[in-house]
Amino acid sequence: MLANIRQSISDWIFRAKAPENPPVTLVQRRIFILPTRQGYTFAFTMLVLLLSSINYALSLGFILTFTLVSMAGVAMLHTWRNLAHLKLRPGRCDPVFAGETAHFGVTVETPALTRFAIAVRRTKDEPVYADVAPAEATPISLPVAATRRGLARCGRLEIFTRYPVGLFHAWSYVDFDLKVIVYPRPDPAAGSPPERSRTATEEGIPVGGDEEFHMLRGYRSGDAPKLIAWKALARGQGLLTKEFSAMASSELWLDWNDAHGADLESRLSVLSQWVIQAERFGQSYGLRIPGVSIPPARGEAHRTRCLEALALFAP
């Protein structure tokens, strides 16, 4: 009860509102600033300096103290300015497999001046620092261990800075509702999809591995390294992927019922491995799990579609 009230007060103060429409500009009322612990220590040091100056009637001591106190005041403005008017947009949040590290990305832009040591962190996580130069968006990505299949949510982000002298902590919150899809961890012991699931196509010839070179096409991310036309790359033609005619000629159904596992998660892991393998071998494959049926196809988009279905599967 009390925690709820505190949370809602905090939400009200910090104007938590999720998700926000990008881009978010850190205008004045979004930025909060308080002294850091070092700032308080500094204040104590200043007190000692002031008392010593008074006691020993050191005029230059007064000058020193007042210079440093004023410097702290100016530094507060600089710290605030270092954060003010930054423009934030959601960045890349690429899907990962469970067990890997997910990255929540945001991009930061500055209107004119370079901002140094801008930090972004999720609540309680280690911050990531970057310098933000003008004229281009600086990507910042927060690494998070993706432990479980499903949708990993980033939650509210804190963007803060203590530059230039660390006496003040200026911060702002932004919530883009960033999500990373976490695919089921592929089960390395899953083996090949069972024979039974192979379905003859119209040609009726299930083919194994004797593919015939068909054509070169542009590289799509996720294409198996062994399919990359390295010679073409060496000739300076860019990344190209070899496509084989056999890919088009066989078809495979990856079926929930064929994937044996102790529980739901391990079944999904098996299917995940099969999808990866089928795509790697260039086979046309379909996915059938309870409630979802994806007709056979191949290619990056298809693979993503299948893995997403597995990631988001809820019985």
Partner 1 sequence: MKPASPHLDFRNVMWLLAAMIFVVAPHLVRLPYWVGVFFLVVVGWRGWNAWAALRHPSGWITAGLTLAATVATWFQYGRIFGREAGVTLLLVMSGLKLLEMRTQREVTLSIYLGFFLVLTNFLFSQSIPLGLYMLVCVWLFVATLVGFNRVGSTPTLVQRLRPAAALLLQSLPLMVAFFILFPRATGPLWALPQDMRAGSTGLSETMTPGNISSLIKSDAVAFRVQFDGDRPAYSKLYWRGPVMTEFDGATWSVGRPSAAGSAYSKREQRTSYTVTLEPHNKTWLFALDVPAVLPSGAYMLNDLEVRDSRPVVERKRYEMSSYLTYRYGEGASPGALRAALRFNEERNPRTIALARQWKSESPDARALLNKAFQFYNRDFTYTLDPPELDRFNPYDDFLFKTRQGFCEHYAGSFALIMRAAGIPARVVTGYQGGEVNPINNELTVRQADAHAWVEIWLPDEGWLRVDPTGAVSPLRVESGVNAALGPIGVIPSLIAADPLGVLSRIRNTWQAMNSQWDQWVVGYDMFKQRQFFSTLGFPSVDWRTLGFWLLAATFVVGGAITLGLLVRDRPPRREAALVAWNRFCAKLAGAGLTRAPGEGPLDFLARVRDARPSLAAEAEEITRRYVEARYGAGATREELRALAQRVRAFRPA
- Residue 270 CB, nearest distance to partner 1 (Å)? 35
Is position 51 an interface residue for partner 1 (rule: CB under 8 A)? yes
Is position 250 an interface residue for partner 1 (rule: CB under 8 A)? no
- Residue 162 CB, nearest distance to partner 1 (Å)? 6
Determine the size of the site formed for partner 1 (CB under 8 A).
58
Distance CA 243, CA 246 (A): 9
H or E element that contains 282 = none
Q: Which of 75, 163, 86, 172 is nearest to 121 (CA)?
A: 172
The correct pick among 23, 61, 150, 206 for binding partner 1 (CB under 8 A) is 61
The correct pick among 19, 111, 291, 295 for binding partner 1 (CB under 8 A) is 111
Binders of partner 1 among residues 13 to 42 (CB under 8 A) are 37-38, 41-42
Shorter beta-carbon distance to partner 1: residue 74 or 216:
74
Q: What are phi and psi of 261, to 5 degrees?
A: -165, 165
- Give me the residue label for tokens 């996915």: 287
* Structure tokens, 223: 């294409």
- The count of residues in the chain is 315
- Residue 85 CB, nearest distance to partner 1 (Å)? 7
Is position 131 an interface residue for partner 1 (rule: CB under 8 A)? yes
Contact 85, 27 (CB under 8 A): yes
Counting Cα atoms < 13 Å in the Cβ hemisphere of 14 gives 19
Is position 133 an interface residue for partner 1 (rule: CB under 8 A)? no
Shorter beta-carbon distance to partner 1: residue 131 or 177:
131
- Residue 96 CB, nearest distance to partner 1 (Å)? 19
Distance CA 175, CA 11 (A): 12
Whether residue 23 is preceded by a cis peptide bond, meaning omega within 30 degrees of 0, is yes
The correct pick among 1, 2, 13, 135 for binding partner 1 (CB under 8 A) is 135
Contact 163, 176 (CB under 8 A): no
The correct pick among 70, 199, 245, 257 for binding partner 1 (CB under 8 A) is 70
From first CA to last CA, the distance across the chain in angstroms is 33
The correct pick among 3, 13, 112, 314 for binding partner 1 (CB under 8 A) is 112
Q: What are phi and psi of 60, to 5 degrees?
A: -70, -25
List residues binding partner 1 (CB under 8 A).
37-38, 41-42, 45, 48-49, 51-64, 66-71, 73-75, 77-78, 81, 84-85, 110-113, 116-117, 119, 126-131, 135, 138-141, 162-166
